[in-house]
Structure 1
Amino acid sequence: MQIFYFHTPAEMPQSLHPSAAAVIDVLRATTTIAWALHNGAEAVQAFADLNDLHTAAAAWPKSSRLLIGERGGEKLEGFDLGNSPVAVVPQIVAGKRLFMSTTNGTRALNRVRDVPLLLTSSLPNREAVVQRLHQHKPETLAIVGSGWEGSYSLEDSLAAGALVYRLVELDSTLNVLTNDEAKAALALWQQWMHDPESCLRAATHGQRLIRLGNHDADFRCCANIDRLSTVPTQGEPGVLKSA
């Protein structure tokens, strides 16, 4: 397995056609997706474009849908929920399809939506994603960070490093870290692995969330390593279900 890590979706070259991709937006989209599906959401349908989201949502029964999303870390006007993993509780999301758009994470998903095996990864479902990848043994894995508006994000690299660390630990003979970004992410995780929440808080986006208000519960949730067995998996373009 050749492992590439890209800080942002734009950094992934058009010439690369990986057999699997794991998208990361640890603060907070991929954490929220994992928890929503764990708590019984029927699916999470991701959109980079808000007009596309509203068109698709309008075709879905109102009683069976929720609009979920943010821009700049704050809930979108008229949406049911923002982008908090602690808000997608069973009594709200069970049986519902979540139509989701975020500043960064849904754009990353859109970039790799044609990859044969597309998963989303976060710290809480890291081990479950590793086991799924180990089962499928893709020839090439692209780990795609969401970044922040096209630039590097510390927290996504931390989560990428956590994924790489466990993949190599599970079977070092099958894994080759192909680019320097993957090696750097691994080193970052090795530095912060005993206190990932502090890394999330120190990151630029972590600081942004702190300025917006009290997000202590979100930080704890997003840093809770290997908590979930849910692997959000794309079955049809843009639609993620627990598989």
Structure 2
Amino acid sequence: MKISAFFTPAEAREEDLKGKIAVVIDVLRASTTIVVAISNGAKQIIPIGSVEKAYELRETLRELRPLLCGERDGQKLPNFDLGNSPFEYTESVVSGKTLIYASTNGSQAIIRAGAHASSVYIVGFVNLPFAVSFLTEKLQDIALICAGRLGGFSLEDATCAGMLIKSFLSDKRYEMTGDQAKVAVMLYERFSRNISEALMTSVHGRYLASLGFEADVRFCAEVGIYKVIPRLEGKIIV
């Protein structure tokens, strides 16, 4: 089985994803927040590509009393119930709820992956060891899609991809393909002893810290604290 990596969603073409498992990585913060929400009992999460569509969907689903969740430029949107901090998604808030989720980078990456891949999973550092053990047994080619930042490269997502690849390669049935996968592994090896450093020195990590979200950034660097792997079923994350 082969493992490839893409540092931005736009780089992953239809032919790169067809018949493969897509793993979407948006460490800061969509992947982490989605993992926390599912772990805390959220019934379903609907990723939405635009704020306008999020408002429209809330009206369509108003009988379910969904929560509007997400951000633009790292900050909670007007009239939204929740922003994008994992600390907001407590069990008392999200358990049994439908979440309509619109984030700057992660939502688009998930939607794009869902259009072409055979299956889509959401992974961050917080659920990474469990995710590897789960996905290894699928015995399929895997495409790692980094959500990136505003269409460009992000250090934290690439480092997480590298950790995933390194973990998969401990199973001889898997091999990496492509230069981006090799670079991702190199980045992980650079930061393997201090994942928090990768996040706190990244452009997006520093930006979030400047907004007062340093605790979020450090939390997103925690490895293996959740044993769930959210998956996309149709257009809904469960």
Q: Same fold (TM over 0.5)?
A: yes
- 1:188 equivalent to 2:187? Answer yes
Q: Deviations over 1:140-197 (max 9, x none)?
A: 211000111111000100111111111112x0x2112111111111111111111111
Q: Which residue of 2 aligns with 1:150?
A: 151
Cα deviation 1:19-65 (Å, max 9, x = unaligned)? 20000000000100000000111011101122222222222246641
After TM superposition, give the deviation of residue 198 of structure 1 in Å: 1.3
Give the distance between the partners of 1:208 and 1:166, measured in 2 at CA. 29
Q: Secondary structure at the match of 2:142?
A: strand
Residue 106 of structure 1: aligned partner: 107
1:216 corresponding residue in structure 2: 214
5+ residue gaps in structure 1?
none
Q: Tell me the residue number matched to 1:9.
A: 9
When residues 18 and 186 of structure 1 are mapped into structure 2, their CA distance, relative to the original with a 3 A threshold, is farther
Shift of 1:133: 1.1
SS at match of 1:69: strand
CA gap 1:4/1:18 in 2 versus in 1, 3 angstroms: farther
| Shift in Å, 1:18 | 4.1
Q: Where in structure 2 are there 5+ consecutive unaligned residues?
A: none
Distance 2:44 2:134 in 1: 19
Residue 137 of structure 1 aligns with which residue? Answer: 139
RMSD after superposition: 1.3
Q: What is the deviation of 1:233?
A: 0.6
Q: Give the structure 1 partner of residue 67 of structure 2.
A: 66
- In structure 1, what is the equivalent of residue 56 of structure 2? 55
How many residue pairs get aligned? The number is: 236
1:4 is matched by which residue type in structure 2?
S
- Post-superposition offset of 1:93: 0.6
Q: How does 1:69-108 map to 2 (within 5 A)?
A: 69-108=70-109
CA distance in 2, matches of 1:9, 1:51: 22
Structure 2 Cα separation of the partners of residues 45 and 128 of structure 1 = 23
Contact 2:200 2:218 in 1 (8 A): no
- Checking the alignment, whether the CA contact within 8 Å between 1:34 and 1:231 is kept in structure 2 is yes
Of 230, 237, 240, the residue aligned with 2:237 is: 240
> In structure 2, the residue corresponding to 1:228 is in which secondary structure?
coil
Letter in 1 for 2:56: T
Cα distance per residue 1:81-132 (max 9 Å; x no partner): 1101111010111110110011101111111113222100000000121112
Mean alpha-carbon deviation: is it higher for 187-196 or for 117-126?
187-196
| Deviation beyond 3 Å, 4+ runs, structure 1 | 61-64
Query: Is the CA contact 1:64–1:95 (under 8 Å) kept in the aligned structure 2?
Result: no
Secondary structure of the corresponding residue to residue 107 of structure 2: helix
TM-score of the superposed pair, with normalisation by structure 1 = 0.93
Q: Secondary structure of the equivalent of 1:130?
A: helix
CA contact (8 A) 2:126 2:222 kept: yes
CA contact (8 A) 1:20 1:142 kept: yes
The secondary structure found in structure 2 opposite 1:5 is: strand
- The CA deviation at 1:15 is 2.6
Measured in 2, the distance between the counterparts of 1:195 and 1:112 equals 30
DSSP-derived class of the 2:137 partner: helix
Instruction: Provide TM-score, normalisation by structure 2.
Output: 0.95
Confirm or deny: 8 A CA contact 1:70 1:101 kept in the other structure: yes
Aligned partner of residue 224 in structure 1, secondary structure: coil
